[in-house]
Amino acid sequence: MRLKTNASPVLFAGLIVLLSMIGQTARPAVPGDPPSDPAEALLAAIPPPLPKDASRPLVGAIRWDAWSGGTVTKVVEQTLGPAKYHHRLPWFAEVKGDKQVAIFGGRQIIMDMEIAWAAYAGLDYWAFLLYPEDSPMSVSLARYLQSPRRKQIRFCLILHNALGAPDDQWPREQARLIKLLKEPGYQTVLDGRPLVFEFSAVERAVERKRFDGLREAVRNAGLNPYYVFMGWNPEADWRRQSGNGFDAVSHYARASGSARDYASLVRETEEYFWRRAAEARVPYIPLVTTGWNKEPRKDHPVPWEKDAAYLKQTEFIPSPAPDEIAAHLRRGLAFVRKNAEICPARALVVYAWNEHDEGGWLAPTWTPEGRPNSARLDAVRRALISGETQSDSAGPRRTTVHAAGKPR
C-alpha cells in the first residue's frame, strides 16, 4: 500500500528531476532555496497529520542524515547504486542507471515533505544523531529547524559524533547543544525534562570527560535532561552507566548476525532487550526495529566499518512486510503500558527513519513509477490508530528465509 494523494507519479518524478537540476546544498548556511512550485503542490497533497493522542506512549524514530551531500552521501550512493537495492533508496533519490544513483536530500522542501509524512503517520519525535555544525550530516537538522512545519513533529538529540569534535571546536559545539535543548519543540518527558540519548561514545575517555562537562554546563543553564544510554544489554548497561549521569537505558539498533528473517530479529529484540530490561527492573525506553540488513555495505564496503563481521555473512534478513513492523510497534506500545514502573518516560524509539543502507527505515522510498512508497508509514499510522485493540500477543510470525536479503 502506498500513500494516497491527488499528485500523479509524473508529478513526483518531476520533483526528482527538478531537484537534481537545482542541485544540493552541503551547508546549513546556504541562502533560501529557489522556487519549486511542483514540490509545493506535492507537499499540499500529503494527507493531514494523525491527531495526537496524549494517552499513548511517545513514538520517535532515529535519523541518520547521510543523504544531504558530502563524503558520506557519495559512499551511500555507491552502496545503494546497484539495481537490486533501488527499492531501499530514499524517495528523493534519482536513478541514473542500473548501477548509478544520485541522492540530494538537503533541500528545504524535502525536509518539509518528510515532516508532513512523519506527522501523517503519527510520529511524535525524531531523534537526530548530532554531528558538528559544519558537517554535511547536520544539514537536515538545520533544515528541520528552519521549517515552517516543524511544529508537526518534535525533535531530540542522540549524542555520539558531536562528542568527538576537535578540541578547538568543542566549546562551540557544547554551546550549540545547550541552545538546541532550549529550542521550541524539543521533546521532553517527565514534566519538562529534555530527552537526550547517548550512543556508546562515553565509553571512550575523551568523550566521557566531555559528557561530564556537558552535564555540568547544562545544569548551569537551568536544564535537567533525561539522559538515556544506548547500548546492547539493558542490565549490564544500567549497572555500568547509572553512576555516570544516565537516567535510563535503551538501544540504537538490534544488530544480528544470526537472525535469518525479520520475525527472528524481532524475537531477539523483544527477548534479549525488552524482557531482560523488565526482569532486571532497569529504567528503560524500548527499541522497535524495522530491520537489519547490511548487504549493500558488504557489496560496497564503507570506510568506517572495516573488518566488520557482516562482511563475511552469506545470508541477510529480507525486508519485512509493513504489517510486521506495525505488529512489533503495537507490542512495543503494550510493553510500555504494562511496564510503567520501568518506563516512566512513556516513550519508545524506532530504528530508524532513514538507515536505508543498513536495512532500517520508515521513510518513503523510491519507486520506478515515481510515486514514493509510503507503505511502512501507512502501517505505522494504522498501528497508532488501533493501539492495542489488535492482539499481537503471539509474537512475531516467522517468514520465509532468503539468502539474498531482497524483498519477496
Span 140-154, average pLDDT: 98
Q: Which three cell numbers stand for residue 385?
A: 490508530
DSSP annotation of 344 reads T
Q: What is the radius of gyration, based on Cα positions, of the chain?
A: 20
Report d(CA 319, CA 400) in Å as an integer. Answer: 11
Domains of the chain: 45-386 (3.20.20.80)
For CA atoms 212, 214, 220, 222, the dihedral sign is negative
Query: CA 348, 60, 65, 87 torsion: positive or negative?
Result: positive
Q: Alpha-carbon distance 38 to 17, whole Å?
A: 11
C-alpha cell at 162: 558531536
C-beta of residue 151 within 8 angstroms of C-beta of residue 79:
no
Beta strands in 77-177 (DSSP E): 94-97, 100-102, 125-129, 154-159
pTM: 0.89
Task: Report the share of the chain in percent with pLDDT over 70.
Answer: 85
Query: pLDDT tens digits, residue range 306-342?
Result: 999 999 999 999 999 999 999 999 999 999 999 999 9
Look at residue 29 and tell me whether its pLDDT is greater than 60.
no
Contact 255, 287 (CB under 8 A): no
What is the Cα 353 distance to its own chain's centre?
3
Is the backbone of residue 363 left (phi > 0), alpha (psi -120 to 50) or beta? beta
Residue type, 5: T
For 121-185, the DSSP string reads HT--EEEEEP--TTSGGGHHHHHHHH-TTGGGSEEEEEESSGGG--TTTHHHHHHHHHHHHTSTT
Distance CA 227, CA 163 (A): 15
Average pLDDT, the chain: 89
The predicted structure's pLDDT at residue 395: 58
Q: Judge whether residue 243 has pLDDT over 60.
A: yes
Confidence band for 12, pLDDT divided at 50, 70 and 90:
low
pLDDT in tens, 84-112: 999 999 999 999 999 999 999 999 999 99
- Closest residue by Cα to residue 197 from 358, 340, 58: 58
- How far from each other are the two terminal CA atoms of the chain, in whole angstroms? 15
Q: What is the pLDDT of residues 192-216, one digit of tens each?
A: 999 999 998 888 889 999 999 999 9
pLDDT above 70 (res 394) = no
Estimate the share of the chain in helix, then strand, then coil, as percent rounded to the nearest 5.
Answer: 40, 15, 45
